[in-house]
Amino acid sequence: MEKVIIIRYSEIYLKGKNRGFFERAFETNLRRAVKSFDCTLDKQSGRYFVRNFQEEETENVIEKLKKVFGAHTISIAYETATDMDSIFEAAKLLSRSTGTFKVESQRGDKKYPLTSIEISKELGGRLLAYFKTLKVDVHDPSFTVRVDIRENGVALVFADYIEGANGMPVGTAGKGLLLLSGGIDSPVAGHMMAKRGMNVDCLHFHSYPYTNMQAKEKVVELATILSEYTCGTNLYTVKVTHIQEAIHEKCKPQYMITLLRRFMYRIAERHALNIGAQCLITGESLGQVASQTIEGMTSSNSVVETLPVLRPLVGFDKNEIIERSVKMGAYETSILPFEDCCTVFLPDFPAIRPQTKDILREESKLDVEALIEEAFTSIEKIKI
């Protein structure tokens, strides 16, 4: 009898003839997740098994596996021979001595001499005889013993299904560049695109010395949290202080945010093309702030020449975004009170519905290309 951790995949089973590509990516990501532990990983009949792990590391291994996109459910199980005596010995280790229970069985091996119902009856009867105070309750049991007879001549006996991250394996849907601020929204947007299989690198704009080093450290921490789901990431930082100073000096203050975002999009697209990213990702939610009206989004988007801009949160309200931020473990970091670049030179009354003709008029007062070129000289890369 051996204790193992079972990982079952999610949407990959729908992929038909392309399934092998997705399975290989999923296995690569699983190996990355458990590489810091002393254990082994193997695949059998569409399931993955972590073996030879230290008992005291079980929960830590599970926590890592729960962040691998593509995993549907995870179980801690005993792998044993398929005879009822061996299955019963494993079931005893999972059973409680009192309370109510039921047994659920399935047969991957259809040649097994007992049907699923017969397995459940036989094992349930043995458990009742061994634990005198146990009772059967098939509708609302206090615990369940599950048996899975596999095609390779082993039985898996386990109690629970632990919910995985679901989605598709990272690395199967191209590469995107996330505009990562220090707030709540953008890490969630990156998380959502990684869940669809996308590799995600991050680009952060800062306004040092108007913003301090703690603000940068906060963003590094957010990128680190995100990287646990994206199998690592590259964080690029760009200084835009000179751009904000130029806008502040030469343009009407109500257009500061819109003009700055247009610069951000231009810089982001060019950098994305430099690193082989195929889209931009933002945390914008329609109507959440002044720059996220449809007019503001249109104005910002109009400077992007070739790449799509993905806004996975566009229809979410703030509570939905916060709920996802909490679940991914980013919320407590996101709300740390360190300002990002968008708070520098913030006007009292920003334009909510900027008109293109007004934006172009104000932008004509600036040497756009020279400001962008200067920004590119400040790019730094942090590998996470």
Our CA angle for 71, 75, 81, nearest 5°, is 125
- Tell me what the mean pLDDT of segment 104-132 comes to: 95
pLDDT at 269 exceeding the cut of 90? yes
Residues 110 and 132 in one domain: yes
Q: Which pLDDT belongs to residue 207?
A: 87
Q: Using H for helix, E for strand and C for coil, what is the string for 278-339?
A: CEEECCCCCCCCHHHCHHHHHHHHCCCCCCCEECCCCCCCHHHHHHHHHHHCCHHHHCCCCC
Query: Which pLDDT tens digit goes with each residue over 136-158?
Result: 999 999 999 999 999 888 999 99
The answer to whether 330 touches 229, Cβ cutoff 8 Å, is no
Distance from C-alpha of 112 to C-alpha of 82, rounded to nearest angstrom: 9
304, with CB counted inside 10 A (0-12, 13-18, 19+), is middle
The answer to whether 309 touches 177, Cβ cutoff 8 Å, is no
Q: Which pLDDT belongs to residue 342?
A: 57
Q: What is the DSSP letter of 67?
A: T
Q: Which pLDDT belongs to residue 348?
A: 63
- Tell me what the mean pLDDT of segment 189-197 comes to: 98
Distance from C-alpha of 95 to C-alpha of 317, rounded to nearest angstrom: 44
Distance from C-alpha of 317 to C-alpha of 294, rounded to nearest angstrom: 15
Is there a domain that residue 215 lies in?
Answer: yes
The answer to whether 329 touches 225, Cβ cutoff 8 Å, is yes
**Which domain CATH number covers 212?**
3.40.50.620
Query: Which pLDDT tens digit goes with each residue over 42-59?
Result: 998 889 999 999 999 999
Among 136, 163, 190, give the residue marking a domain's end. 163
Among 163, 193, 223, give the residue marking a domain's end. 163
Q: 3-state DSSP call for residue 207?
A: coil
Residues 114 and 227 in one domain: no
- Tell me what the mean pLDDT of segment 247-254 comes to: 92
Q: Which pLDDT belongs to residue 346?
A: 66
Q: Which pLDDT belongs to residue 337?
A: 82
Among 122, 140, 163, give the residue marking a domain's end. 163
Residues 247 and 271 in one domain: yes
Q: Label residue 28 by pLDDT band (50, 70, 90).
A: very high
- Tell me what the mean pLDDT of segment 90-99 comes to: 95
Residues 124 and 246 in one domain: no
Residues 24 and 70 in one domain: yes
Is there a domain that residue 170 lies in?
Answer: no
Is there a domain that residue 169 lies in?
Answer: no
Q: Which pLDDT belongs to residue 368?
A: 97
Mean per-residue pLDDT over the chain, rounded:
93
Residues 301 and 375 in one domain: yes
Q: Which pLDDT belongs to residue 341?
A: 55
Query: Which pLDDT tens digit goes with each residue over 336-375?
Result: 987 665 556 666 667 778 888 899 999 999 999 999 999 9
Cis omega (within 30 of 0) for bond into 209: yes
The answer to whether 224 touches 265, Cβ cutoff 8 Å, is no
The residue segments making up the domain with residue 90 are 2-163
Query: Which pLDDT tens digit goes with each residue over 309-332?
Result: 999 999 999 999 999 999 999 999
The answer to whether 6 touches 155, Cβ cutoff 8 Å, is no
| AA letter at 106 | Q
Residues 209 and 150 in one domain: no
The answer to whether 210 touches 346, Cβ cutoff 8 Å, is no
Q: 3-state DSSP call for residue 169?
A: coil
Distance from C-alpha of 382 to C-alpha of 219, rounded to nearest angstrom: 11
Residues 185 and 157 in one domain: no
Distance from C-alpha of 134 to C-alpha of 177, rounded to nearest angstrom: 56
Residues 205 and 314 in one domain: yes
Is there a domain that residue 85 lies in?
Answer: yes
The answer to whether 203 touches 236, Cβ cutoff 8 Å, is yes
Look at residues 266, 300, 276, 265 and name the one whose alpha carbon lies nearest to residue 369. 266
Of 53-67, 186-200, 209-223, 259-273, the range with the lowest mean pLDDT is: 209-223
Residues 158 and 304 in one domain: no
Residues 365 and 237 in one domain: yes
Look at residues 199, 241, 229 and name the one whose alpha carbon lies nearest to residue 342. 241
Domain count, the chain: 2
